[in-house]
Structure 1
């Protein structure tokens, strides 16, 4: 018997999550939940859309799991916040791992992780809660990716790297072995990170990557997390 699943969100990523969970998982999507401020439809794909604040009245956390399908909005802070709120409601947070991804048996994954097709996750990798790995990335052995990171597509992260929480990694970026970046980093498209940048909130671009004068906090108009 398949497990019932509530998708938190109703945007483009929620549509994708519905398709992937429906076709390539043992879950059955039973509905969507959206915060009251953004509630503007009552049905999606023939399923009910409910106000997130009242979700547990419609979908019992005892019998329904949930997945927060939100992209990197506000440098991943919206997804982080909704994951906490969904967990506080008592829901178990489901992962999606594409059967077309290679995730080695010694890799350790948190909750509410979404891994698309053609990802390679090697031996000893640790991926935190709320991470999204879009298609075609390489995550090298013993690398650790902090909570609520977003890895775009075709990123290459070599072995023994440390990616700080809530970081965004752009398409085709590359990391050398043993590189650490701080929390809230924004790594631009095709950046080549060949040394560590442990200060939080850096924007890294170029080959070799160098920090921008503008922090990710200023660029996205955010406050550093406590």
Structure 2
């Protein structure tokens, strides 16, 4: 494996570097970001060199280094998509990371710059596009397809034979029922249940639960929990 240059220097980058280096002993060599995000004297991130993206290919040539784009889901994953395309245009191979403690089938098909975290469960006959991020505890059912540049946060659940388009965002505890099709750039908020097809750029939000009228001590007294 070639040494890896990671694009980014935020919290998502920090998490991804931890998994790559500490959990899997991958050879992370340096970080890179756009020049406007490098302050004077800001030469390192997490103890490793920080290079400007416009100069990274000169300092870390693509023939000697691979790259991973480690930014979040800003602009419906649009920022990450743009940086993936720019890195490829510079000649870099974009690696994908699959955590050793994820449960994935041997026939899983996935593209470049994918990130599959620990405790993810993916069934057989699943296909992931490029730049798909699957956060810890998520499940993707059999014969499902997830389009490029889509992000599944922790504990998102996708049923079997589901088709999810490109650049979608699935928040925590989303459930997508069997054989549902979801368009491109769809936003699904936490705790939403999706049982019907969704068109491009639709948004589904679950109603927030309201605070109970009693405070915690009053509730415990009323409910009898304190006696357990």
Same topology, TM > 0.5: yes
- The match for 1:57 is 58
Quote the offset at 1:92 in angstroms. Answer: 0.5
Equivalent residue runs for 1:172-211 within 5 Å: 172-197=173-198, 199-206=199-206
Quote the offset at 1:60 in angstroms. Answer: 1.1
Q: As a proportion of its length, which structure holds more strand?
A: 1
Quote the offset at 1:118 in angstroms. Answer: 0.4
* 2:172 paired with 1:171: yes
Give the 3-state SS of the residue equivalent to 1:23 in structure 2: helix
Unaligned 5+ segments in structure 1 are: 208-226
- The match for 2:37 is 38
Give the 3-state SS of the residue equivalent to 1:3 in structure 2: coil
Give the 3-state SS of the residue equivalent to 2:185 in structure 1: coil
Q: Quick check: 1:119–1:133 contact (8 Å CA) kept in 2?
A: yes
| TM superposition score normalised by structure 2 | 0.87
Q: Quick check: 1:25–1:96 contact (8 Å CA) kept in 2?
A: no
- The match for 1:101 is 102
Quote the offset at 1:25 in angstroms. Answer: 2.8
In 2, Cα distance between the equivalents of 1:185 and 1:53? 32
In 1, Cα distance between the equivalents of 2:23 and 2:113? 16
Quote the offset at 1:204 in angstroms. Answer: 1.2
Over 3 Å off, 4+ runs: none
Unaligned 5+ segments in structure 2 are: 208-228
Q: Deviations over 1:25-78 (max 9, x none)?
A: 352111000011212221112211010011101111101100000010111000
